[in-house]
Structure 1
Amino acid sequence: MRAWLRDTAGGLSATYWYLWTGLLINKVGGFAVLFLSLYLTSQRGAGTAQAGLIVGTYGIGGLLGTLAGGVLTDRWGRRRTLLVSHFATVAALCLLAFNTQLAVIAALCALLGVAQSMAAPAFVAAIIDVTPADKRSRAFNLQFWALNLGLAGASLLAGLLAQWSYQALFLIDAGCTLATGVLIAWKVPETLRTLPPPSLSPSRSPLPSPLPSPWPSLVSSSAQKLRRGGGLGTVLTDRIFLVFVGLTLLQALIYTQASTIVPLAMHADGLSPSAYGSVVALGGALIVLGQLFVPRLIDGRRKARVLALALLLNGAGFAVLALADHVALYLTAAVIWTVGSMLAAPPNAEINSELAPLALRGRYQAVFFLTFPAASFLAPSLGGAGLQYLGDAHWLVVGALGAVAAVLHLSAGPSRERRVAAIRSDTAAIANVS
C-alpha cells in the first residue's frame, strides 16, 4: 500500500502540493454555487425558469472572467492572477450573503462568475509549469481527486447548513476562499517562465560562426510560433484545439446537469435539500475512493476511446433520471454518471495540457475553461426550460447528447494525436536550441 501511494503521489513538487491544497480548501467551502438554484427557489421566491436564468448569469460572468484570467495569466503571471481572483471572490460572496433582491443577486452572481473563473487558467498553467510532462497525468488525476474530495465534504455540510442558514453558506465559502488566497500569497511563487525571442539565441554563442542561423534548420516554423507566442487569435484559429474545446463543452453541458437541474428535479419530486446533498456526496465519495485507481485502468489506452466511453456513461446516467421519482434511483444514476466523469478526467486534462504551447498556456487554458462558465449558463438556462416543458423527456435528450459526443470524440482522436506529436517535437527542438 505504501509503495502504491508513493507511485501515485510521489515526484511532484512542493509548489504543486500547495496549489493542490488550495484547490481542496476552496472546494470544501464551495457551497454557494452548488445550492444557488435551491436558495433562489426556496428563499427568494424565484420560479424554476427564473432561477435558471439567474444562475446562468454566473456563467456569463465566468465567460468574461475566464478570458481575462487567461490573458492575465500570461501577462501578469500565475500568482498575481490567482490572488486577484480569490480576494475578489471573497468580496462577491460577502455581498451575496446580505442581499435579497433578485436583480441585485443576478448582478452579484455575474460578478462572482468573473472573479471565480479567473483562477482556473492560472491554476492549470501553474500546475503544467511545475510538473514534468511524464507526471502530468498523475498530477491532474490527483487534482480531480482533490476537487471531488472537497465536493463530498461540501455537499454533506451544505445540505445541513442550508436547513439552518443559507447566509452561512455564502460566508463560509468566503472564508475558505480567503484561506486559499492567503496560502497562495504565503507559499506559491511565480511559475511563469519568460522565453527570449529566437533571434537572441544565436548571438549568445561565444564563438563566431559563418554558418547561417540554426533556427530555420533545427526548429520548424510552428515551433518558432510557439516560442514567439501570440494572442487569443492564435488560439481561436487552432481548429484541432477548438474541436476538443467544443467536445468538452458538450461534456460540461451534460455533467453540469448534476449541479443545476438535478436539484430542481428532486425538489419537484418532493425531496429535501439534504437528499440532494446525499446524491452529490455519493458521487464525491466514489471519486475519493476510486479516482486514484483510474490511471491503472486507462494507461496505454487511446484517450479518444476512453473519453467516448466516459461520455456514453455520463449520458446514460442522466437518462436514468427519466424514470426517477425517489432517492434510490437518483443515487443509482449518480453512480453511473460519476464513473463516466472519473474516466474522463485524466485524459481530458492531459489532452488540454498537451495541446497548449508553452508561450500561450494561459490563453489556451482560458479558451478551454470557457466551456465551464458557458455550460454554467447554457445548462441551467436550457435545462430549466427543458425540465419545465419536456418533463422527464429532458433526461432522454441529455442521454442522446452523450452518445453524440462519444461518436465525435472517436472521429477527432487521430488528428489530436498527430497535433500532440508535432507539438512535442517542436518543444523539444526549442529546448535543444535554447
Structure 2
Amino acid sequence: MRDVPRVVWLLAAGSFANMMVAYTFVYLVLYLNGPRGLGVAQAGLIAGIGGAGLVAGNFTGGWFGDRYGHRRTLVTAAATSGAGLIALPVLPTAALLVVLPVAQYAAGAVRASNSALVAVSVPEGARRQGYAVMRFAANAGFTLGPPIGALIAARFSYGWLFVADGAGTLFFAAYAARILPARGAARRTAAGPGGPRLWTELRARPAVLVLLAAIVVTDTVYRQQYSTLPVFLADHGFGTAFYGALLAVNGGVILCLEIPATLALRRAAPLRIIGAGLVLVGLGYTALCLGATTGTAIALLLLLTFGEILYKTPATAYVADHAPAGMQGRFQSLYAGASTTGTVLAPPLGTLLYAAAPALLWPLCAALAAAAGVIVLLAQRFPAPLKEPVARTPQVPPVAADSERAQA
C-alpha cells in the first residue's frame, strides 16, 4: 500500500464524503414512480435517459482530461453536476429529460478523470491497490448513504435527497480544486480524442476488447439491483428500509474484504479473477429464481458483492496496465463507459421485461452474467497485449494537477 501516492488518498477522502450523499440514483426509479406519479416503464425510461448522459460522460471524460487537464475537467464537471442535482426537485417532469442527462454527463466525466489519475499516478503492478483504495472510500460512503437516504425520504421527502447529493457534489468540486494544484496547461495529444489510433491500439489488445464487451453485459445485469430489484421487492411486501439495508450489506462486506482480497490476489492472473467474479454475479441472480424472501434477497446481495470484489478493481487495473503510452485517459474512459452502460440499459430493459414476463427476468440475468464470465476466462488464450511504457511524472502533485477525479 506504500506505492499508493498521496493524491490518491486525498481523492479517496473526498470521494468518501461525496458518496455519503450520492444516493439519488438508487432511489430515482422509486421517486419517479412514487412522488412524480409516473408508471414503472416511464420511470425506467427517464432513468435510462439520465443514465445515457452518465455513460457519455464516462466515455468522454478521460479524453477531455488528456487534452485539457484532468483537474480542470474534474472541477468543472463536479460543479455542473451538483448544480443540476439541486435543481431537479423543483423542475417539471419534462425538464428532467434535459437536466438529468446533463447532470449525469458531468458526473460521468468526473468519474473517468478520477480513474485516469490513479492510472498515471500509480506504477504498474500496484494499480489494483490504488483502485482498491478509491473503491474502499467510495463504498464506505455508500454503506452509510442508502440508509440515510431512506430516512430522509421517509421523514422529509425524496426531493431532499437531490438537494443533499447536489450540495455534496459542489463541496467535492471545491475540495478537488484545493487539493489538486493547477500546474499549467495540459498537453494536447496529437491523436485527438479518438480516431484511427485508438481503434488500432484496441485491435492490438483483443483481450481488452473482450473484457469491455463482457463488462457491458454484466453491468446491465448487475445494475438491476438499483432499478428492477426495488420494484420486485416492493411488489412482494418489502419496504424501502429493507432495500436500503440490503445495499448497506453490500457496502459493508466490500469494506471488510475488498482491500484484503486485492492484496491476497494481487499476483494472480487478472482475467481469471475477473471471469470468476462475473460468474458469481450470475449465480447471485439465481437466488431470486427461488422466490422473494429475506434469505434469497440477502443471498443475492452477498453473491453480487463477492463477484464485485473479484472483478471491478482488477478489471480497472487491467485496462490501465495495458493502455499505450499517452492514452491512459482514453482507455480509462472506455472502461468507465463500459462499466456504467447498465445505467442506460438496465432500467428500461429490466422494467419492460419485468412488466411483460416477470418470471423470465432473473433467470436471464443469471445466464447473461455467467456467459460473460466464461468468455473472459477464455480470453486468457489471446496473445498478451503489446507492452508500452506509460508516461509517468515522478512527482505526484504536477500529475495530479492535470489529472483526475472521483466516483467509484
> Residue 305 of structure 1 aligns with which residue?
272
Residue of structure 2 in register with 1:162 after alignment: 153
Shift of 1:187: 0.8
- Pick the aligned partner of 1:423 from 384, 387, 399: 387
Matched, 1:189 2:181: yes
- Which residue type is aligned with residue 235 of structure 1? L
8 Å Cα contact 2:19/2:141 also seen in 1: yes
The equivalent residue for 1:232 is 194
2:64 to 60, 72, 79: 72
Normalising by the residue count of structure 1, what TM-score does the alignment of the two structures yield? 0.84
Q: Determine whether 1:42 maps to 2:34.
A: yes
Query: Are 1:78 and 1:191, in contact at CA under 8 Å, matched by a contact in 2?
Result: no
Q: Which has the higher contact order (CA 8 A, sep 6+)?
A: 2
Q: Work out the CA distance in 2 between the residues paired with 1:247 and 1:89.
A: 29
- From 289, 294, 306, give the equivalent of 1:327: 294
Q: Counterpart of 1:57?
A: 49
Contact 1:152 1:281 in 2 (8 A): yes
Unmatched runs of 5 consecutive residues or more in structure 1: 1-8, 197-226
1:324 and 1:297, CA in 2 relative to 1: closer, same or farther beyond 3 A?
A: farther
> Which amino acid in structure 2 is aligned with residue 116 of structure 1?
A
Deviations 1:283-308 (A, max 9, x none): 11111111121124423322121112
Give the alignment's Cα RMSD to 1 decimal: 2.2
Secondary structure of 2:384 counterpart = helix
Please name the residue that 2:326 is paired with.
Answer: 359
1:349 aligns with 2:311: no
Quote how far apart the aligned CAs of 1:194 are. Answer: 6.7
| Residues 126-166 of structure 1, C-alpha deviations (whole Å, 9 max, x = no match) | 11222122321111112222221111111111111121211
Residue in 1 that maps onto 2:338? 371
Partner of 2:5: 13
Name which of 239, 250, 255 aligns with 1:272: 239
Alpha-carbon displacement from aligned partner over 1:14-65 (angstroms, at most 9, x marks no partner): 2111111122122111021111011111111111111110100112112332
| Residue type of the alignment partner of 1:170 | F
- Quote how far apart the aligned CAs of 1:412 are: 1.5
**What does 1:68-107 align with in structure 2 at a 5 Å threshold?**
68-99=60-91, 101-107=92-98
Q: Distance in 2 between matches of 1:343 and 1:336?
A: 11
Deviations 1:75-126 (A, max 9, x none): 1101000001100011110111222x32222322211221111112210111
Conserved in 2, the CA contact under 8 Å of 1:275 and 1:327? no
Ranges in structure 2 where 5+ consecutive residues have no aligned partner: 395-408
Residue 386 and residue 300 in structure 1: after superposition, are their counterparts in 2 closer, same or farther (change >3 A)?
same
Once the 2 structures are TM-superposed, how far is the Cα of residue 403 of structure 1 from its aligned partner? Answer: 1.5
State the percentage of identical aligned residues: 25
Q: Give 1:418 deviation, angstroms.
A: 0.8
- Decide which structure has the larger Cα Rg and report it: 1
- 1-side partners of 2:93 and 2:286: how far apart? 32
Is 2:293 the partner of 1:293?
no
Equivalents in 2 of 1:314, 1:396: separation in Å? 12
SS in 2 for 1:138: helix
* Structure 1 position 144 matched with structure 2 position 107: no
**Structure 2 counterpart of 1:292, which letter?**
I
Matched ranges for 1:202-281 at <5 A? 229-233=191-195, 234-237=197-200, 238-239=202-203, 240=206, 241-281=208-248
| Alpha-carbon distance between aligned partners in 2 of 1:84 and 1:35, rounded to the nearest angstrom | 26
The aligned amino acid for 2:78 is H
Query: In the TM superposition, what is the alpha-carbon distance from 1:358 to its structure 2 partner?
Result: 2.9
Q: Mark the CA change 1:191 to 1:355 in structure 2 (over 3 Å): closer, same or farther.
A: farther
Q: Tell me the distance in 1 between the aligned counterparts of 2:174 and 2:121.
A: 20
Corresponding residue pairs, total: 386
Indicate if the aligned counterparts of 2:279 and 2:374 stay in contact, CA closer than 8 A. Answer: no
- Seen in structure 2, the aligned counterparts of structure 1 residues 114 and 296 have a Cα distance that, compared at 3 Å, is closer
